[in-house]
Amino acid sequence: MMIKVLEPLGQVQKLVPVQMNEVPPLTGKRLAILDNVKPNFQRLAMLSAEKLKDEFGAASITHFHKENAAVGAAPELLDEIARSADLVLTGSAD
Amino acid sequence: MERRGVPTVVLTSSAFYAKALYDGRSLGLPEPRIAVFKHPLGGLNDAQVIERADAMYQSLRDALARPPAPLAKPPGVIAQLVTAPSDALELQGWYAEKRWSDGLPVIAPTPEAVARMVAGARRAGNDVVGIVPPRGGVATVEQIAVNAVMAGCRPQHMPVILTAIEAMLEPQFNLAAIQATTHPVAPLVIVHGPIAKELGMNSGAGTFGPNSLANATIGRAIRLILLNIGGALPGDVDRSTQGSPSKYGFCIAENIEASPWGSFITDRGFAADANAVTVYGAEPPHNINDHEHGDPEGVLRVAADTLKGLGHNTWFLAWRGQKELMLILGPEHASSVASTGWTRQKVQEFLFTAISRRREELVPGGMYGMRDWPDELNQRPMNTLIPPVPSPKDVLVLVAGGAGKHSAALPSFGPTVSVTRQIPGS
């Protein structure tokens, strides 16, 4: 025997999907790190960005950070990074 | 950043890959670029971090080389009616397999039962209460009612549940982070006003514990909503390291009759007899046992010792500069504290000083390197006092529980601010 029940999850908000961007050739490009402020992330991301700079000839590396690890980056910060970077490395979780 | 036109790579650990993928998709990215390093990163020495970076580099290069994925299709409407086993025991296994429950037995949300629950809300079933993160689930009154039926609620509980969810969706509550953090935070729901008694809520002995249908099922409904509509599945999206019993249900009523200062909500501009709900992102209760003191200073010094633990997030993290701690006094402690005429405000001012610590005591704290203090605090000498919250009013004090010499300290998640909302139409 079966019964009908209403499923508990419901719809997902209809997001405007994001078209991901092409990664440009990195020669002369500006790299940015958006630090999630977790321990050791800044060091890990900087090491990775330096490797990219050395291998592909990126022009610069700029470091940005969130207010703290448990708060999303403010829109103003994201706007600033968008104006000053061609590729962003960021972190998620620990 | 992708929405702003800048290609972005997320660096994450092997343990958090699924969460990073989920987060990206929740933001509308079909296949976010992710480079993975071996978990963990925190607690490593510099040589180990270099090793992680070296080992991750190929993963980073691969992420950069991958062409952008095609646009994701907008998510569709999920069919609401599904077929389930009618046998009560089989039904529980069915829910567990789908990960649609908290692991405890659920009541079948048949269309008839859900309709009765919606009627208790006194709102239309298709009213949208809000969007529950991180899944972005649309919390209609009806969808909330489905989870309330599963939790065992009565229809008259619905106004409390709806008000609590609306309060949690205020930005300053920071529900997205509360749903996903490694911290064991759960939203504590506190019901104020005559409605608590009308619903048979327990504000007295054992208020945090079992046996009250209203406390238990309202708290459980909130959790099922966070799990199902919000998508906070433990181990996948809810990354709480150890979880917490308070993630099954965390709902109490304020014991206003035993409070020397009347209802907590009067400090927030509500009438003393208003029906309201406060939500507060809390650790589980930390017991404060004091059988020795009958004076305000004595009781509050013991309470302060529990409130100012070095492992609490509150020391180091805030929501846009705001953060709180909560002390829930048992009635006997509250009576002792008020015995010489101390007001709630005086209690808060005393506690604010008593819970402060010298800066040098905080340096060994587990999140000192992640602190988001304002510059003014960072300039202070090591021997000066630092408060864990910005002002005395941020030490929230209320009364709940029954006879006995116990109270509860509830440190918050840190970057969250409590919200109180009046229950409409009550």
pLDDT tens-digit series, residues B128-164? 999 999 999 999 999 999 999 999 999 999 999 999 9
Closest Cβ opposite residue B12 in set A3, A11, A92: A92
pLDDT greater than 50 at residue B65: yes
What is the number of CB-based contacts under 8 A between chain A and chain B?
264
Q: What is the per-residue burial (b if ≥16 Cβ within 10 Å, else e) of B43-57?
A: ebeeeebeebbeebb
Q: In this complex, do B108 and A88 lie within 8 Å of one another by their Cβ atoms?
A: no
Question: Chain B contacts of A32, Cβ < 8 Å?
Answer: 6
The confidence band for B362, taking pLDDT boundaries of 50, 70 and 90, is: very high
Lowest-confidence region among B18-27, B248-257, B400-409: B18-27
Question: Chain A contacts of B15, Cβ < 8 Å?
Answer: 93-94
Radius of gyration of chain B, Cα coordinates, nearest whole angstrom:
23
Portion of chain B with pLDDT greater than 70, in percent: 98
Give Cα A64 to chain centroid, integer Å: 11
pLDDT in tens, B408-418: 999 999 999 99
Rounded to an integer, the average pLDDT of A34-62 is: 95
Say yes or no: B72 contacts chain A, CB-CB below 8 A.
yes
pLDDT, residue B149, reads 98
pLDDT, residue B75, reads 42
Rounded to an integer, the average pLDDT of B326-350 is: 98
Contact B247, B393 (CB under 8 A): no
CA distance A31 to chain B (A): 10
B2, B10, B23, best to mutate vs chain A, most A CBs in 10 Å? B10
Of residues A82 and B19, more confidence is placed in: A82
The confidence band for A17, taking pLDDT boundaries of 50, 70 and 90, is: confident
Separation between Cα atoms, residue B13 and residue B37, nearest integer Å: 5
Q: In this complex, do A71 and B83 lie within 8 Å of one another by their Cβ atoms?
A: no
The confidence band for B76, taking pLDDT boundaries of 50, 70 and 90, is: very low
Residues in chain A: 94
pLDDT, residue B97, reads 97
Q: In this complex, do B8 and A88 lie within 8 Å of one another by their Cβ atoms?
A: yes
Lowest-confidence region among A14-28, A67-81, B59-73, B385-399: B59-73
Contact B323, B389 (CB under 8 A): yes
Say yes or no: B2 contacts chain A, CB-CB below 8 A.
yes
Other Cβ atoms less than 10 A from the Cβ of A6: the count is 24
pLDDT, residue B77, reads 42
Separation between Cα atoms, residue B201 and residue B43, nearest integer Å: 45
pLDDT greater than 60 at residue B183: yes
Q: In this complex, do A43 and B40 lie within 8 Å of one another by their Cβ atoms?
A: no
pLDDT greater than 80 at residue B201: yes
B49, B78, B172, B223, best to mutate vs chain A, most A CBs in 10 Å? B49
Rounded to an integer, the average pLDDT of B331-348 is: 98
pLDDT, residue A18, reads 86
> Taking the alpha carbons of B212, B218, B219, B221 in that order, is the dihedral positive or negative?
positive
Question: Chain B contacts of A6, Cβ < 8 Å?
Answer: 80-82, 109-111, 114, 142, 146
Interface of A with B in 35-94 (CB under 8 A): 37-41, 43-45, 47-48, 51-52, 67-72, 78-79, 81-82, 85-94
Q: Which helix (H) or strand (E) holds B202?
A: none
Rounded to an integer, the average pLDDT of B255-281 is: 97
Interface of A with B in 9-28 (CB under 8 A): 9-24, 26
Say yes or no: B425 contacts chain A, CB-CB below 8 A.
no
Say yes or no: B7 contacts chain A, CB-CB below 8 A.
yes
pLDDT greater than 60 at residue B315: yes
First and final CA of chain B: distance in angstroms? Answer: 44
pLDDT in tens, B381-393: 999 999 999 999 9
Closest Cβ opposite residue A10 in set B8, B83, B138: B138
Q: What are phi and psi for residue A30, nearest 5 degrees?
A: -100, 125
pLDDT greater than 80 at residue B71: no
pLDDT, residue B72, reads 52
Portion of chain A with pLDDT greater than 90, in percent: 81
pLDDT, residue B258, reads 98
First and final CA of chain A: distance in angstroms? Answer: 47
Say yes or no: B88 contacts chain A, CB-CB below 8 A.
no
pLDDT, residue B69, reads 79
Rounded to an integer, the average pLDDT of B47-63 is: 94
The chain-wide mean pLDDT, for chain B, equals 95
pLDDT, residue B341, reads 97
Q: Give the tokens for residue B295.
A: 């004076």
